[in-house]
Amino acid sequence: MRTAACTALAIALVASSGAGASECECKHLPLLQIELRNALQLQAEFKEAQADLRQYTPDTSQAAYKQFTERKAGRKLENDGSKVRAFDYVPYGTLALHRIDTGTPEELCRLTDSAEAELKQIERTAECAGIARAIRTHEETHGNLCRAIGYRAHLSMHGSDSAAGEANAYGAQAAVIRAEIAKIVEGLKPRIEMSAAIRAQPPANAMVTALAADMSAELAMSPTQSNAAGQVRFDGAGRQTLRMTADGACRVTAGSPATVALQATMETDGLEARVSPRTTGALPGIGMRCQLPGAGAGQGMSMPAPPINATPDTAVLLLRDGAEKVVDIADTPGGRAAAQRGVRLTGQWTVRLRMACPVP
């Protein structure tokens, strides 16, 4: 009777802590992100394997599945130097085949005593409790499937279905890790820093050859939405400071420095932060005083700034303190809108994420 269908692989990086695992903290964030990338990598590998395994007959598919888990799965995993532990889901039914028709799914699908003891040892030596919960969730996903379809059906699964069950288990594992990362990031009260040096060159103009603006902003981000998959959205508001100068026969006499209201959202999946800023306040008018060659000084005049949003559409950053993204102004909504009016915008935005761990 085939038993390979009952073998399911869970892989995790487990650094021995010498004591029971404590709750995950900011210092564990890099390790949690490695765990998340590994879980997602394995989920993708097992999903991809399903089509190939489906080509085998029921009798040969489990041998092919076993060969895949032993020779191909997990070859691209990251390791930070911690001990890599692999755990197999071994249900009690493998020791009680004589009860396959009389035992209950609850009885036959639970882990064997030795497998449960091994899993508890892995949990105790995990670097933090969130990793232990992720591993336990992975195994519970296998157990839940076994109980849902019955031990005999689980034992006789096609290799492709075994791969699907493994992909689902890694998906559940990833969701727990994401939730741990989200909890840590929420407590760090992340901030978004933005800065830019922008130069606007209008069509041929005898008085103003270019306007230059230095911009800076900082936004404190607060969590506003989250879901069961551990994805979190943060919202923030702040003020953008603009300092403007003019090249040519004019100099800026009013409207600089100025502040403009700015808002941003940050969505994270535990690995990346998608930052989407937008200007919400009115851009200021600019007062200038001009002097043409051979003539006296002109009167002060107001030049309303066009309603150009020169902030980036979305900047995708790694979810770590100090991560930054440089965006070409020409690729922003404002840069594209200005180009349609014959105004050339040049320069760069720098978007930076701050979420430093607290000092002990």
pLDDT digits (tens, 9 = 90+) for 187-209: 999 999 999 998 888 887 667 77
Segment 317-335 shows an average pLDDT of: 90
Q: Please check whether residue 53 is in contact with residue 159, taking contact to mean a CB–CB distance below 8 angstroms.
A: yes
Of 346, 13, 336, 357, residue with least CA distance to 173: 13
Structure tokens at 46: 């097992």
Q: Please check whether residue 138 is in contact with residue 11, taking contact to mean a CB–CB distance below 8 angstroms.
A: no
**Residue 42 pLDDT:** 94
Structure tokens at 19: 């004591």
Q: Is the pLDDT of residue 83 over 70?
A: no
pLDDT digits (tens, 9 = 90+) for 128-167: 999 999 999 999 999 999 999 999 999 999 999 999 999 9
Q: Which residue has the higher pLDDT, 307 or 289?
A: 289
| Sole residue written with tokens 């994420």 | 353
Within the chain, strands assigned E span: 9-14, 83-88, 191-201, 208-226, 232-248, 250-254, 258-268, 272-279, 285-290, 301-304, 315-318, 324-328, 344-354
Cβ partners under 8 Å of residue 311, min gap 6: 194, 262, 277, 278, 279, 332, 333, 334, 349
pLDDT digits (tens, 9 = 90+) for 5-16: 444 556 555 554
**Residue 11 pLDDT:** 58
Q: Which residue has the higher pLDDT, 181 or 206?
A: 181
Q: Residue length, the chain? A: 360
Segment 11-29 shows an average pLDDT of: 71
**Residue 360 pLDDT:** 66
Q: What is the residue-averaged pLDDT of the chain?
A: 85
Label residue 99 by pLDDT band (50, 70, 90). Answer: confident
Label residue 307 by pLDDT band (50, 70, 90). Answer: very low
Segment 314-326 shows an average pLDDT of: 94
Q: Is the pLDDT of residue 3 over 80?
A: no
Q: Is the pLDDT of residue 183 over 70?
A: yes
Helix, strand, coil proportions of the chain in percent (round to 5)? Answer: 40, 30, 30
Q: Please check whether residue 142 is in contact with residue 173, taking contact to mean a CB–CB distance below 8 angstroms.
A: no
**Residue 303 pLDDT:** 47
**Residue 165 pLDDT:** 96
Of 255, 256, 254, 273, residue with least CA distance to 265: 273
Label residue 80 by pLDDT band (50, 70, 90). Answer: low
Cβ partners under 8 Å of residue 273, min gap 6: 190, 266, 267, 316, 317, 318, 319, 323, 353
Q: Which residue has the higher pLDDT, 81 or 56?
A: 56
**Residue 6 pLDDT:** 47
Q: How far is the CA of 292 from the CAs of 249, 287, 289, in angstroms?
A: 6, 17, 10
Label residue 229 by pLDDT band (50, 70, 90). Answer: confident
Q: Which residue has the higher pLDDT, 39 or 343?
A: 39
Of 188, 356, 182, residue with least CA distance to 267: 182
pLDDT > 90 fraction of the chain, expressed in percent and rounded: 48
Segment 49-77 shows an average pLDDT of: 91
Label residue 33 by pLDDT band (50, 70, 90). Answer: very high
